[in-house]
Amino acid sequence: MKAIEISYIKYPYPHKPGVYIMKDDREKIIYIGKAKDLDRRIKSYFSKKISNMPDGNWKTRVLVTKIKSIDYIITDNEIEAYLLESNLIKKYRPIFNIELKDQQRYTYLKITDEKFPRLLVSRRNRMGEFTGTKGEVIGPFVKGSSRYLSVGLLRKMFKIRICTKLPKKECLEYHIGNCDAPCINKINEENYKENITSLKKILEDNETLGDFYKKLETEMKIASNNQNYERAIFIRDTLTRLQNLLQHQKMENNSIEGYKAEEYIGFLEDENQKIMHVMTLMSKNGVINDMKKYQFDLVGDNAIENFICQYYHSSTTVPNVIYLNKSIEEETNLQKALYKMTGTEVKIIPMDFKYFSKEHQNRSDDNNKYSVMQLILNNLKTYVEKSHEPALDELKVLLRLKRLPYIIDCFDISNFGNDFAVGACTRFMNGTPDKNGYRKFKIKKVSHQNDFLMMEEIIRRRYLPHNICEDVPDDKRIDRFPDLIVIDGGKGHLNVAITTLKKIGIEEIDCISLAKENEEVYTPFSNAPIVIPKNKKSLRILQHIRDESHRFGLTYNRYLRKKMLN
């Protein structure tokens, strides 16, 4: 069915399943999603209440600011929506959709399609294609950086030319014994290609490579016995580097009789960055032999189901069973979509506590599966924990915060009489200043000295234009709300801030105040202040952002006074 282009402000949409296609002001597709009910799903992106937006996160708000028009395609059912979404994403590769980019850098080798072939290093581009000179691609191989060393050695051992074009006379490579100089007919095409054939056998077959390795070991011993030490050292270095080639990873086909493949997929969300970390581990006939790591932004509808669809849409190996560490709502539809997509019947098993009930815990096979998944999650947890300042964990516990304070905003009032009242907001990200998030305010609505009313004004002005569908200047728009708001002051200042946030519909953000005299922290859940030990880095972070807001506000105040005097 042909997609119908409409502006996102023109409701209603069809109350039917389908795929929606979001475009920017240049008509470029930036996001593709599926929906059970197109009208309800698309409307949710433009809800005036932040908490009603898709997953309520800042990355989705950034997406919405880019949308200028929306196309949609109606499908007969949700399974067709899955398939259509996956095909369109693969075709258009929108910037906000999941991009399947394995974080393990795989290297491929290419034997060029030339009269006298060359050996090159090759990688896939963003579209999954091999660019450059045409030729036969072999791989993938792991540990890409060491591959360059091996490639150079392979060229020398099999006398493979390195020149881009055949010169009219021999070069240095011929004179030092690294090339047989096909450029001056020192070797004919047939004999040259025999070397290429031997090279391909080594790259494609680990057994052949092993035999070749043993042959070189023998040659090294002979060279050493003949006191040809230079040759022996060269072979020794060659053997050391060729060990990497024994880690050659070959893609396997699942059409072999008796073949059984299981894949474990672990998901762990980094709530601060709104990133989902993914690790996959393939087991073939009971042997684990392939592990990959991915990550994707949690934007719009990007979720576990979307990842799985894209992952197996691009995979050459589809397992019979997929184990997940999370339950999914559309398990049945996803299994049907995978069957239509790949022709393989796939069973999806969420490995939650129900799966590991008492009747399963005594079975060794299930215990092994649990151990594999636990290994994956432990690895993912390490990635997430390394991404933020440890003192923020301490703050979360001490102040009983809802979430890790990865982004902190701090407000301060600086006044000098009635004419020079200003407000400042500083922002820290991961425990350090984020100068792009600093904002200064000249008090406009309060004509007399009243810190409480001034605090209310600057908080309103900082967060009130939160409905990003409105025409708000880019430099004032909030793409990402803080995880914690710190007020410079005591309990009274804190109460004003909390009341103001409730009035403008922002209640989910934690808010505290820091009184400078005794460095006491006031929180909404306790009348008594919390005193954090002075040797704690968590307190130093709060002091730093408070001092920054005071400095930033005071600097602006002085600027205004100087400007008026001049």
pLDDT of 56 strictly over 60: no
Task: Answer with the residue of higher pLDDT: 373 or 285.
Answer: 373
Domains with residue ranges and CATH for the chain:
4-92 (3.40.1440.10), 107-247 (no CATH), 261-385 (3.30.420), 393-565 (3.30.420.340)
User: Please, are residues 200 and 138 in contact by the beta-carbon 8 Å criterion?
Assistant: yes
Contact in structure between 284 and 250 (CB atoms under 8 Å): no
**Under DSSP, is residue 112 helix (H, G, I), strand (E, B) or coil?**
strand
CA distances from 242 to 112, 211, 421, 540 (A): 22, 12, 71, 52
Is the pLDDT score of 469 beyond 60?
A: no
Distant-in-sequence, close-in-space partners of 237: CB < 8 Å, separation ≥ 6: 153
Cα–Cα dist 376/407, whole Å: 28
What's the rounded Cα separation, in Å, for the pair 461 and 422? 13
Cβ burial of 134 (10 Å; 0-12, 13-18, 19+) is exposed
Q: Hey, how many other C-beta atoms are within 10 angstroms of the C-beta on 281?
A: 21
Amino acid code (one letter) for 324: L
Q: Mean pLDDT across the stretch 460-474? A: 59
Amino acid at 191: N
**Residue 343 burial by Cβ neighbours in a 10 Å radius (0-12, 13-18, 19+):** exposed
In the DSSP assignment, the letter for residue 226 is T
* Mean pLDDT confidence for 48-68: 66
Q: What are phi and psi of 67, to 5 degrees?
A: -75, 130
Does an H or E element contain 466, and which?
Answer: none
DSSP of 323-373: EESS--TTHHHHHHHHHHHHS---EEEE-STTTT-HHHHT-HHHHHHHHHH
Single out the residue of 308, 312, 381, 374 nearest to residue 343, CA to CA. 312
Q: pLDDT, tens digit, for every residue of 533-564? A: 888 999 999 999 999 999 999 999 888 888 77
Tell me how far CA of residue 308 lies from CA of 19, 37, 78, 357, in angstroms: 17, 22, 16, 26
Most confident of 61-70, 130-139, 545-554: 545-554
Q: Does the pLDDT at position 473 exceed 60?
A: no
Rounded Cα distance between 148 and 244, Å, is 11
Q: For residues 535, 536, 542 and 544, what is the CA-based torsion angle, rounded to 10 degrees? A: 50
pLDDT at 316: 65
- CA 340 vs CA 82, 84, 85, 124: distances in Å: 10, 11, 14, 27
Q: How far apart are CA 460 and CA 475, in angstroms?
A: 16
- CA–CA gap between residue 553 and residue 303 (Å, rounded): 42
Q: What is the mean pLDDT of residues 472-491?
A: 77
Which of the 8 DSSP states describes residue 124? B
Rounded to 5°, angle at Cα 144 from 139 and 145: 150
> What is the pLDDT of the chain when averaged over all its residues?
80
Residue 462 to residue 270: CA distance in whole angstroms: 26
Residue labelled with tokens 């409307």: 43
Say yes or no to pLDDT of 144 above 50.
Answer: no
The single-letter code of the amino acid at 375 is L
Residue whose C-alpha is closest to residue 458's, from 399, 429, 415, 516: 415
pLDDT tens column, 201-255: 777 665 566 677 788 788 889 988 888 887 788 777 777 666 555 443 333 333 3
Higher pLDDT, 352 or 116: 116
Regarding pTM above 0.85, the answer is: no
Residue with tokens 């990007």: 302
- What average pLDDT does the segment 495-514 reach? 90
Contact present, 261 and 20 (Cβ < 8 Å): no
Residue 455 has pLDDT above 70, yes or no: yes
Most confidently modeled of 234-248, 250-264, 302-316, 465-479?
A: 302-316
What is the per-residue DSSP string for 158-214? TT----SS--SS--HHHHTTS---GGGTSS-HHHHHHHHHHHHHHHH-HHHHHHHHH
